[in-house]
Amino acid sequence: MASPVSVRGLRKAFGARTVLDDVDLEIAPGEFVALLGRSGCGKSTLLRILAGLDREITGQAVVSGTVSIAFQQPRLLPWRKVWRNIALGLHKPDGRAVALRALEEVRLPDHADAWPLTLSGGEAQRVSLARALVREPDVLLLDEPFGALDALTRLAMHHLVEDLWARHQPAVLLVTHDVDEALLLADRVLVLDEGRIVATHHVDLPRPRRRASVVEQRTRVLADLGVDVDTAA
Ligand SMILES: Nc1ncnc2c1ncn2[C@@H]1O[C@H](COP(=O)(O)OP(=O)(O)OP(=O)(O)O)[C@@H](O)[C@H]1O
C-alpha cells in the first residue's frame, strides 16, 4: 500500500531563513512516528505543511487520504457545545450520534452538551482528539497535544492515544519535546535539527510499554538531541 505520508527533498524558507532543508520522510499506513527536536528546529512547520496549511514549499510533500490535526491548545469554539465542536464540518445528518460515539471513545460520555469553557485542560484535549478522530483520518498529525497538561493527565492521555491509535490505525506523526513520550508511543522516533532529520530510532519494544523499558534508548535519543545525560544529571 502507498505511504500515506511521502516527503521528498522538502525545503521551506521564511525569507532568507531556511527552516526545513532537504527533508525526506515516508510514513507507512498505521505507523506511529514521533518527531523530536529543539525549539525552533522546524517541527511545527513540517506539520503545518503536511496538514496543507502552508503550501509555499520546494520539493514534495504528499499526504494521501483524510488528514486530521490536533494542537497543543484544543482550539474549541467556545460558543458551540462540545458535541457541535466535534460534529463541525462533518456534514452528516447523524452528526450528534457520531459525536456521542467519539465522546465515548475518549471517555467523556457525559459532556456532549457541556460548553468548552467548563472543561478542564485534559477534558478539552480529549474533545479535540474526538474531533480529529470522527473524520476517520488516514493521517493524524499531533502537534504537542499533551504539552500543556499536568504530568498525571498526560499519562492518562498517552494510554488513550495509544488505545485510539490501535483501534483506528491512522498513520500518526506526533511532534513532542518529551523523549519518554516519543519512546513510549512511537514505532519510530526522528530527531530534527536545524531543519534536517539527523537521527532515526526504531522502537521495537512490545506494547504497552513502561517507562523503565525505554531508559536505555532514552540515553541514545538524548545524545542525538545534544544532551549528555551524565552531565545533565
Ligand atoms: N510564519 C512564519 N514566518 C517567519 N518565520 C517563521 C514562521 N513560522 C515559523 N517561523 C520560524 O521558523 C522556525 C521554525 O519554527 P517551528 O514553529 O517550526 O519550530 P518548532 O520546532 O515547532 O519549535 P517549538 O518546539 O518551539 O514549537 C522558527 O525559527 C520560527 O521563528
Torsions phi, psi of 29, nearest 5? -55, 130
| Cβ proximity of 121 and 149 under 8 Å | yes
| Residue 207 within a domain | yes
| Residue 93 within a domain | no
Tens digit of each residue's pLDDT (9 = 90 or more) over 200-225: 999 999 988 888 888 888 988 998 99
Q: How far apart are CA 172 and CA 163, in angstroms?
A: 13
CATH number at 198 reads 3.40.50.300
Calculate the average pLDDT of the chain: 92
**What is the number of the ligand 1 atom nearest to the C-alpha of 15?**
4
- Spatial neighbors of 44 by CB under 8 A, at least 6 apart, are 143, 175
Q: Which of 116, 122, 118 is nearest to 153 (CA)?
A: 122
CA distances in angstroms from 43 to 37, 108, 194, 217, listed in the order given? 7, 30, 10, 21
- With 0-12 / 13-18 / 19 or more C-beta atoms within 10 angstroms meaning exposed / middle / buried, residue 4 is buried
Nearest-CA residue for ligand 1 atom 16 is 42
- Spatial neighbors of 221 by CB under 8 A, at least 6 apart, are 36, 179, 182, 183, 189, 191, 199, 201
Rounded distance from Cα 173 to ligand 1 centre (Å):
17
**Predicted pLDDT at 151:** 85
Rounded distance from Cα 45 to ligand 1 centre (Å):
6
**Predicted pLDDT at 149:** 85
Cα angle 117-121-123, degrees, rounded to a multiple of 5 = 85
User: Which of 20, 43, 73 should be mutated for ligand 1, with most atoms under 8 A from CB?
Assistant: 43
pTM, rounded to two decimals: 0.93
Say yes or no to pLDDT of 3 above 70.
yes
Three cell numbers, residue 159: 494510554
| Cβ proximity of 160 and 107 under 8 Å | yes
The residues facing 142 across adjacent strands are 70, 174
The residues facing 200 across adjacent strands are 190
Identify the domain containing residue 164 by its residue range: 5-75+137-225
Tens digit of each residue's pLDDT (9 = 90 or more) over 54-92: 999 999 999 999 999 998 888 999 999 999 999 998 888
| Residue 164 within a domain | yes
| Residue 128 within a domain | no
Nearest-CA residue for ligand 1 atom 4 is 14
Tens digit of each residue's pLDDT (9 = 90 or more) over 35-54: 999 999 999 999 999 999 99
Rounded distance from Cα 179 to ligand 1 centre (Å):
20
Q: CB neighbours (10 Å) of residue 141?
A: 26
Q: Is the ipTM of this structure higher than 0.90?
A: yes
The count of domains in the chain is 1
The residues facing 44 across adjacent strands are none
Say yes or no to pLDDT of 7 above 60.
yes
Q: How far apart are CA 24 and CA 120, in angstroms?
A: 38
| Residue 170 within a domain | yes
| Residue 36 within a domain | yes
| Residue 87 within a domain | no
Rounded distance from Cα 130 to ligand 1 centre (Å):
27
What amino acid occupies position 216? E
User: Which of 10, 12, 19, 35 should be mutated for ligand 1, with most atoms under 8 A from CB?
Assistant: 19
| Residue 132 within a domain | no
Helix or strand run (H / E) with residue 2: none
User: Which residue bears the cell 519518554?
Assistant: 180
Q: Alpha-carbon Rg of the chain, whole angstroms? A: 18
